[in-house]
Amino acid sequence: MTTHPCVADAARRETAILDWGRLDWLVTGAAMPGAELTFGLVTIKPGERNPLHSHPNCEEVLYVVSGRCEHRLGDEILALEPGSAIRIPRGVPHWARCVGDEPLQAIIAFSSGDRRADMHEEEGVA
């Protein structure tokens, strides 16, 4: 197994277990100094969603690997399924809700190695 500073594997990933699912970070500026993007995997449990938030310093791309979700992008709700990708512009409030019986599994990438998130009060589209 390689231990190169530009290679991430299961032993070097940072995992956050949350009420609604989990985040597995493979590439971040903190874990790989000099990285200009953040890259990871998100899993959302059936019927759950992540909180309404935005990213003030980067855009996000989410690619659905398995499962389905409703994705709030600003004031719109969009349906995503395996093979769908969505680009979330910097500063736009969003969340993803897993619909169906299987967890949503998606690849997520951000245009900064220092991804930041601002939480928002729930209002508008539910």
> What is the torsional sign of CA 105, 108, 114, 120?
negative
What does the alpha-carbon distance between residue 25 and residue 71 come to, in Å, rounded to a whole number?
A: 21
Superfamily of domain 10-114: Jelly Rolls (2.60.120.10)
Q: pLDDT tens across 19-59, in order?
A: 999 999 999 999 999 999 999 999 999 999 999 999 999 99
- Domain spans, the chain: 10-114
> What is the torsional sign of CA 122, 92, 72, 81?
negative
Say whether pTM exceeds 0.85: yes
Closest by alpha carbon to 37, among 21, 53, 55?
55
Whole-angstrom distance between the N-terminal and C-terminal Cα of the chain? 46
What does the alpha-carbon distance between residue 65 and residue 107 come to, in Å, rounded to a whole number?
A: 7
Residues in the chain: 126
Supply the pLDDT for residue 18: 98
